[in-house]
Amino acid sequence: MISCKGDLKTDVAVGVVKNIAELDEAISKAKPGDNIVLANGVWKDVQIKFLGEGTEKSPITLKAETPGKVFIEGVSNLEIAGNYLIVNGLYFRNGYTPTGNVIAFRTSEEKVANYSRVTNCVILDYNQLQRDNDDLWVQFYGRHNELSNSYLAGKTNGGPTVRVDLKGVQSIKNYHKIINNHFGPRPRKGGARGETIQLGSSFTSMSPSNTTIANNLFEECNGEVEIISSKTNFNEIRNNVFYKSEGSVVTRHGNYVTIDGNYFIGDGVNEQYGGIRIINTGHWVTNNYFFNLKGKSFRSPLAVMNGIPKSPLNRYNQVTDVVVAYNTYVNCSAPWQFGVGTNIAQADVLPKSEIRSARAIRTTVANNVVYNDKGLESIVVENDKADGVLFKNNIVDNQGMKFKDFDSGIIPASLELKKVSENILIPIGLPSDVEAYYGFDFETIENDLFGNSRKDSKSIGAVVGADFTNPNILDKSKYGASWYSNEIKAIDPVTHTVTKSEELQTKIDAASNGDIIAVAEGIYAISKSLVINKTLTIQSKGKAQLVFSGASNTPLFSLQPKGKLTVNNMILKGNASNYAFASLKENMSNHFGLTVLNSEISDFNYVLRAYKQSFSERVTFENTSISDCENGIELSEETNDRGDYNTEYLTIKHCDFNNVKQNVVDYYRGGYDESTIGGNLLVSNSTFTNCGAKEKNKRLFNHNGIVNVNINNNTFKNNNVKFVSILWGAKNNVESENTVINSGQIKTEENLVMTLMY
Amino acid sequence: MISCKGDLKTDVAVGVVKNIAELDEAISKAKPGDNIVLANGVWKDVQIKFLGEGTEKSPITLKAETPGKVFIEGVSNLEIAGNYLIVNGLYFRNGYTPTGNVIAFRTSEEKVANYSRVTNCVILDYNQLQRDNDDLWVQFYGRHNELSNSYLAGKTNGGPTVRVDLKGVQSIKNYHKIINNHFGPRPRKGGARGETIQLGSSFTSMSPSNTTIANNLFEECNGEVEIISSKTNFNEIRNNVFYKSEGSVVTRHGNYVTIDGNYFIGDGVNEQYGGIRIINTGHWVTNNYFFNLKGKSFRSPLAVMNGIPKSPLNRYNQVTDVVVAYNTYVNCSAPWQFGVGTNIAQADVLPKSEIRSARAIRTTVANNVVYNDKGLESIVVENDKADGVLFKNNIVDNQGMKFKDFDSGIIPASLELKKVSENILIPIGLPSDVEAYYGFDFETIENDLFGNSRKDSKSIGAVVGADFTNPNILDKSKYGASWYSNEIKAIDPVTHTVTKSEELQTKIDAASNGDIIAVAEGIYAISKSLVINKTLTIQSKGKAQLVFSGASNTPLFSLQPKGKLTVNNMILKGNASNYAFASLKENMSNHFGLTVLNSEISDFNYVLRAYKQSFSERVTFENTSISDCENGIELSEETNDRGDYNTEYLTIKHCDFNNVKQNVVDYYRGGYDESTIGGNLLVSNSTFTNCGAKEKNKRLFNHNGIVNVNINNNTFKNNNVKFVSILWGAKNNVESENTVINSGQIKTEENLVMTLMY
């Protein structure tokens, strides 16, 4: 475990401070060795500036009276500057920062912190009111600072959760440490700028950072395609656990990063869980373990990208001088992909400065072990030729299936799996006649995944030997704040029965997260929007009918932050001018959700209207009929062309659409960004009749820029449009088994001209 | 003095080897501590591969029997691979390498040298036969190698004299040392690729090199605009002397270079002597001394360039985080220039990816001293605003002339100069109330120019205190090989008198370098070209006349490698089909030269024809009449558009041109390259009559792409052309006081569309 605690004298209490005035006073008087103690309770709307000059042996500490009982809420933040300062035990929740960061290691451009630490803290759901208001939760400046043993989760707005900033010589060669933290779930953001950790930026990509990210647990960090975006030099990413996280560790800019001894754990199903994506020069990927990852292409366990020749500063440099050694891959769908992101085929629609044609060179892949319980067609997927790569002494059990062996650099073998824990299965029984290849500087790979010495061992793969101790990588008590756990006891949902209109909102308000509102059979007149701000199911047995007479352009169900609604077996009727479902127009500080099952929806202006800056991870309609509406499902307000969109998954199955006049399906993502690989539209086994009559662009489905589209087994009949859909051929847009009668056609355009995001 | 000699055991002689077979045998058997001794004499056409495994205490040495008496000649080279190898005392001359390098620290892509040293050697005029055959004289690979106490001079062909190569992980973080060498005159190359030392390339500009260049003397290193081109990271350039060298130390690519304690010495006249040119991030320019430098713009003592926003890898990154501190500038014309290379005005003719509009940011200029014996209008020349630069506590004696002081960051003062040596005059008497500014990390600037400690000193400028010892920076015995000196005793030229035609070539052959051929009055019939391959003057008192009847397209004077001819007071006549002067068509392995004074030239096909890949530093015609020739002065064969040209200076003064039908002046440089700032055409006080009749493009003078053009005080009369000249307004092309009668006009075009070189 890495730490800079040492032999500290931190036990001189200055007394408990009870408000910001007392706190400021205490800070201004603090001497080395002082403890400033924040009284338990809620500290609302406080901007704390912690300036001080501690010493190595006698730091100044700002701590909670009881760790976890000091709540920083409202419009609040913390800035730290000086030397040898420690912050311990604070809990940020129910609010957001008035500045660009919740915790910053500086108080002004000149005054940065050095040798300072934030530890044992929690930041939870501390989101700006609007998704496009980007901020950071922890922003590093200066040198030798640390974020340790903290829990951060629930960031929904734009901006990495943690960023190391290098602008200015005070912040280079910083040797910061981000260690022993628990990065809890970060929901899909629906576009870029959702990294969990970013180290520098392309503008500082020439700078030495020397930041260490070690021994952290990343759990469901799904914000975007990059979990860690390393953009500077000489960083070390060691011994972390990436658990069911929809993204990758990416060496986006900068060079000479060490990625050693990490665990990447998938579930064998979800294709969004990634591994390590490599760009640039001189990285070493060693001793890592990859399990049950189904990601491909950008999200492969090892994705080596093509570069742009003489790339601009903010684009893709060629991969050179990379070493991938002593890693183990178990049951991954595409362990190694090279030439990822090659886009030579799109030369017609992209400027020359965007064409990634420079293949990896002077790259070595050696001493790795791959085990597949089902044989793969290729061990190495060559999106472009891997002819600049030296493969040496890699051992693969591909269940006897043949594969390209790169001059015998990949050697077939028959291995066994030895179970160390539920997610760690180690291939053993490696052929004794194949010794590890000894490449240049390989003697610097001193230990294996479990920390055992490689000295005197010729062993291949992430671990030496065959006698293993369970490292308990998912024991959450090893990570984050000592006083906080994100493990929630399962509680059986309570069912609240509604028999009268006026009970609906009151029962909804009284219900707890996860509860069920059971509506008795009958017709309910509703005149005011029902507010949904928690996870709820509203259902009936006999198709209860809600008739909404609310004002024009107001929704029957107002889907507010954290409002995740399931409607099951209901009939919803409007007055032609109002909506069935809508997000708030603004201040959607957290995501909503919507699932509609076995229901009937009719006579609305909009079925669903998602406003700009609102986001739902999923929007699902199943076994539902939608008829006589002016507009259908509207998810197209993110028109800034920065890669953002309103839902990750829009799913329509076994539904009937009839007489929906426009925006039947309107789903938009704008901005060219090869690594925004989101937006998912599935429409299957549904019928569309007499729809799209008022659609201005004569397309029934609009899904411009959505990367994954699957339209299958539907029937389109008498829709007065020119196209049911125009698919984006270069991306994952497909259709099959559709019946199109008097409804135009389904067309595929290979390339889509889009605005460049950079 | 830096060295890695230590306590070595190198006295085990293996016996003297006399030929390559014996040498190979000895190398193959060498053990740590062995000395392999090359017998004195000429080793011709030898390719030496010195492979071995010495140890730190017992290296293997390959040495001359007597240092300087072992001549490596002909088509020869030396390659070194292994560990702890030393090469001592060899003299490379009279030949060229068959490969891309004369001395390489590797024998194959895999086998490099480490901890090895080439010392006490000389490489002189060891040039390829053709200028465009690029090579290197010393090419570094591997790690911890050294070139020390050697003398290298006279490289005329393309390619840096010394290059450190970083392709491949074996060669990064190399800590090579280039120390105590004497880099003797390198003639102007006439275009790019004439650096004395290059560290890496743009393709390895992200790599840490950590190369040290220290304690070297650079004397007349005039190859091109960059003497040292640093293209990688973390290099150190310390305590070198740049003496009358037409170029700069340039941080061309890469970052975090230290340039400390160097001397840049000019002559107060030549505007080509440069200083330090800055591109990219994080460089520290400290403790340097600049004297009598008249360079401006790219060649300023400090030239800080504008960058290209999001620059491509091989172009110009923005300057950020640079520190310029504790330097002293005495009698320099433009000590500090910012925004150098801004070309926003040329946006119409250049692609966007060439526009340098990004100004320096986060840059500090502090604690410097400037002394000017004549006040300057500006201390800081802002080609673009220096608004991202912090000026602090700089002291300037500008003889009372006012200047912009950047928020009092530049403080006027009245100083005195104290003479330490002929070229070192130190301003003293600094105001005692101005103390050094203490910037971030300034404590790392530990010593001053003379190596004295800065500890406890608040002193401003390159030196602490006022009591100085002469560092004898131009004592050549401190640099280069112990057995070699480039100091030549002046010998009075011998005059050889010629009275008969047949004596001409024999006397030329018998003459020594610098001698005079005195031709007696009379007419001399010459039927065969006279070969000139040394420095000679051919003159007469009473205008002796040489009548050349040689074959068509052969020259009266064949200007061969090293043939530098002055013709004075002669009459030269041809037969209309032959030439007065010409270079060889090929194998111009060294430069020629031509000066024609007080002469008459007539009836030739060409006055001068310089063939492709030939080069003369100067071509001069003065007080000479040129008449009745088909072609004039032809210097336009470098049409590859890589920035090359055939002469650095073409000077025509007080001449009469009459009936020269085409190519009156034809001088060409092609290829857009902002830092090739060469080609100089001066035409003054001359008359041109009835010329250019056959000129296809209707221009009397063609000088496309020549950067410096000055046409003044001439008379143009009855020349049947449309333009006398088309000047390139964006560059230094000017005309004045010309009389143009019936000869078209002189026109200026601001921008010239050129081929990009990259």
B753 and B679 share one domain: yes
Contact: B207, A281; criterion CB under 8 Å: yes
Residues of chain B contacting residue A256, judged by C-beta atoms under 8 Å apart = 208
Q: What does the pLDDT average to over A357-384?
A: 97
- ipTM attached to this prediction: 0.90
Contact: B282, A170; criterion CB under 8 Å: no
Cα distance between residue A535 and residue A563, in whole Å:
6
Instruction: Measure the CA angle with vertex A482, ends A479 and A484; round to 5°.
Output: 90
B569 and B654 share one domain: no
A333 and A411 share one domain: yes
A477 and A542 share one domain: no
Asked whether B638 and B130 are in contact (CB, 8 A), the reply is: no
Q: List for chain B the helix, strand, coil content (%; round to 5).
A: 5, 40, 50
Q: Which residue has the tokens 């990343």?
A: A218
pLDDT at A523: 97
Query: Which neighbouring-strand residues pair with B114?
Result: B83, B143
* DSSP state string for B534-567: SEEEEEEEEEEEEEE-PPTT-EEEEE-TT-EEEE
Contact: A313, B314; criterion CB under 8 Å: no
- Residues 323-382 on B with a CB inside 8 Å of A are 323, 353, 362
Residue among B114, B174, B206 with most chain A CBs within 10 A, to mutate: B206
B402 contacts chain A (CB < 8 A): no
Asked whether B708 and B680 are in contact (CB, 8 A), the reply is: yes
Q: What does the pLDDT average to over A439-457?
A: 95
B169, B255, B320 member nearest A282 (Cβ)? B169
A475 and A495 share one domain: no
Contact: A280, B206; criterion CB under 8 Å: yes
A466 and A320 share one domain: yes
pLDDT at B493: 95
- Domain count across chain A: 3
Contact: A321, B172; criterion CB under 8 Å: yes
pLDDT, one tens digit per residue, over A576-627 is: 999 999 999 999 999 999 999 999 999 999 999 999 999 999 999 999 999 9
The alpha carbon of residue B408 is apart from the nearest alpha carbon of chain A, in Å, by 20
Cα distance between residue B33 and residue B85, in whole Å:
10
pLDDT, one tens digit per residue, over A27-46 is: 999 999 999 999 999 999 99
Cα distance between residue B289 and residue A555, in whole Å:
76
Contact: B206, A206; criterion CB under 8 Å: yes
A499 and A473 share one domain: no
A479 and A495 share one domain: no
B167, B312, B321 member nearest A169 (Cβ)? B321
Contact: B170, A440; criterion CB under 8 Å: yes
pLDDT at A6: 40
In-domain check, residue B416: no
Q: What does the pLDDT average to over A438-454?
A: 96
β-strand pairing of B101-104 with B70-75: unpaired
Nearest residue in A to B202, CA atom: A310
* DSSP state string for A593-606: EEEEES-EEES-SE
Residues of chain B contacting residue A255, judged by C-beta atoms under 8 Å apart = 206-207
pLDDT at A9 over 70: no
Cα distance between residue A253 and residue B310, in whole Å:
13
pLDDT, one tens digit per residue, over A656-693 is: 999 999 999 999 998 876 666 789 999 999 999 999 99
A747 contacts chain B (CB < 8 A): no
Q: What does the pLDDT average to over A481-494?
A: 94
A592 and A692 share one domain: no
CA dihedral (B309, B311, B315, B318) positive or negative: positive
B169, B281, B441 member nearest A206 (Cβ)? B281
Buried (b) or exposed (e) across A732-744, using 16+ Cβ within 10 A?
A: ebebeebebeebb
A321 contacts chain B (CB < 8 A): yes
Contact: B280, A206; criterion CB under 8 Å: yes
Q: Which of A626, A617, A613, A521 is nearest to A572 (CA)?
A: A626
A169, A202, A311 member nearest B440 (Cβ)? A169
Nearest residue in B to A354, CA atom: B312
pLDDT at B4: 38
Cα distance between residue A127 and residue B294, in whole Å:
59
pLDDT at A5 over 50: no
In-domain check, residue A112: no
Write out residues in chain B with pLDDT < 70, as ranges.
1-14, 673-676, 754-758
A326 and A431 share one domain: yes
pLDDT at A744: 95
Which segments within B499-624 are labelled E, that is strand? 516-519, 523-526, 530-532, 535-548, 555-559, 564-573, 579-583, 592-597, 600-602, 606-609, 616-622
A317 lies in which domain range?
261-483
Residues of chain A contacting residue B170, judged by C-beta atoms under 8 Å apart = 440
Contact: A169, B208; criterion CB under 8 Å: no
A756 contacts chain B (CB < 8 A): no
Cα distance between residue A490 and residue A610, in whole Å:
31
Rounded to 10 degrees, the C-alpha dihedral B107/B113/B119/B124 comes to: 30
* DSSP state string for A670-710: -SB-TT----EEEEES-EEES--TT-TTSBSEE-TT-SEEE
Burial of A138 (C-beta count, 10 Å sphere; 0-12/13-18/19+)? buried
Nearest residue in B to A253, CA atom: B206
A727 and A599 share one domain: no
The alpha carbon of residue B363 is apart from the nearest alpha carbon of chain A, in Å, by 9
Q: Which residue has the tokens 């000026």?
A: B391
**A14: confidence class by pLDDT, cuts 50, 70, 90:** low
Residues of chain A contacting residue B282, judged by C-beta atoms under 8 Å apart = 169, 172, 206-207
Length of chain B counted residue by residue: 758
The model's pTM = 0.93
In-domain check, residue A163: no
Query: Which neighbouring-strand residues pair with B47?
Result: B77
**A347: confidence class by pLDDT, cuts 50, 70, 90:** confident
Helix, strand, or coil (residue A444) = helix
Nearest residue in A to B361, CA atom: A168
Residue B27, both tokens: 């190398």
Cα distance between residue A653 and residue A663, in whole Å:
17
pLDDT, one tens digit per residue, over A57-84 is: 999 999 999 999 999 999 999 999 999 9
Nearest residue in B to A204, CA atom: B281
pLDDT, one tens digit per residue, over A409-444 is: 999 999 999 999 999 999 999 999 999 999 999 999
Contact: A282, B441; criterion CB under 8 Å: no
B233, B282, B313 member nearest A311 (Cβ)? B313
DSSP structure class, residue A346: G
Q: What does the pLDDT average to over A231-237?
A: 98
pLDDT at B10: 45
Nearest residue in A to B233, CA atom: A206
Contact: B172, A255; criterion CB under 8 Å: no
The alpha carbon of residue B515 is apart from the nearest alpha carbon of chain A, in Å, by 53
Contacts of A203 (CB under 8 A, 6+ apart): A167, A313, A314
- Residues 219-238 on B with a CB inside 8 Å of A are 233
A286 contacts chain B (CB < 8 A): no
pLDDT at A305: 98
Residues of chain A contacting residue B313, judged by C-beta atoms under 8 Å apart = 310-312, 317
Contact: A441, B169; criterion CB under 8 Å: yes
A561 and A666 share one domain: no
- Residues 248-277 on B with a CB inside 8 Å of A are 254-256
DSSP structure class, residue A435: P
